[in-house]
Amino acid sequence: MQIKSNKLDGKWITFVLQNNNNMEVHILNFGGIITKILVPDKHGNFENVVLGYKNYQDYKTDSSNFFGAIIGRVAGRIKKAYFELDGNKYELEPNDGANHLHSGSNGFHRVLWDAVPFETATEIGVKLFYISKDGENGYPGNVCVTVTYMLNNNNQLIIDYSATTDKATPFTLTNHTYFNLSGNLKNLIQHHFVTVNSPYYLELNNELTPTGEILNTQNTTFDFIQGRTLNEGINSDFKQNKVVGNGYDHYFLFDKNQIGKIKIIEESSGRILNIETNHPGMVMYTANNLEKGIELDNGPSRKYLGICFETQGPPASLHHETLPTIVLHKDEIYNKQTIYSFGIQL
Please pick, among 102, 109, 176, 279, the residue that the annotation labels catalytic. 176
- CATH 2.70.98.10 describes domain 2-344: yes
| The one-letter amino acid at 59 | Y
pLDDT for the residue numbered 62: 87
Condensed to tens digits (0 to 9), the pLDDT of residues 245-297 reads 999 999 999 998 899 999 999 999 999 999 999 999 999 999 999 999 999 99
- At 198 the pLDDT is 97
How far, in Å, CA of 160 to CA of 294, rounded? Answer: 30
What is residue 318's predicted lDDT score, i.e. its pLDDT?
A: 97
Q: Comparing 5-9, 129-133, 220-224, 257-261, which segment has the lowest mean pLDDT?
A: 5-9
The residue type found at 164 is T
- The pLDDT, as a whole number, for residue 24 is 98
Distances (CA, A) of 271 to 21, 48, 180: 15, 12, 10
Catalytic residue among 24, 47, 276, 310: 310
Q: Is the sign of the CA dihedral 229, 234, 237, 243 positive or negative? A: positive
Q: pLDDT digits over 103-134, tens only?
A: 999 999 999 999 999 999 999 999 999 999 99
Model confidence at 346, in pLDDT bands (50, 70, 90)?
confident
> Which pLDDT tens digit goes with each residue over 173-208?
999 999 999 999 999 999 999 999 999 999 999 999
Digit-coded pLDDT (tens) for 45-73: 999 999 999 999 999 988 889 999 999 99
Give residue 112's pLDDT: 97
Annotation says 176 is catalytic: yes
**pLDDT value of residue 312:** 98
Residues 19-33: what's their mean pLDDT? 98
What are the pLDDT digits (tens) for 64-102? 899 999 999 999 999 999 999 999 999 999 999 999 999
For the full predicted model, state whether its pTM sits above 0.95. yes
279 catalytically annotated = no
pLDDT surpasses 80 at 309? yes
- pLDDT > 90? residue 9: no
Hey, where are the domains in the chain? 2-344
pLDDT at 242: 97
Q: Mention every residue, 6+ apart, whose C-beta is less than 8 A from residue 129.
A: 113, 114, 115, 116, 144, 145, 146
Residue 8 has pLDDT above 90, yes or no: no
CA-based nearest residue to 106, from 146, 149, 165, 63: 63
What does the mean pLDDT of the chain come to? 96
Burial tier of 267 (Cβ tally within 10 Å: 0-12, 13-18, 19+): middle
Contacts of 34 (CB under 8 A, 6+ apart): 25, 26, 27, 50, 52, 68, 149, 175, 177
Distance CA 93, CA 141 (A): 17
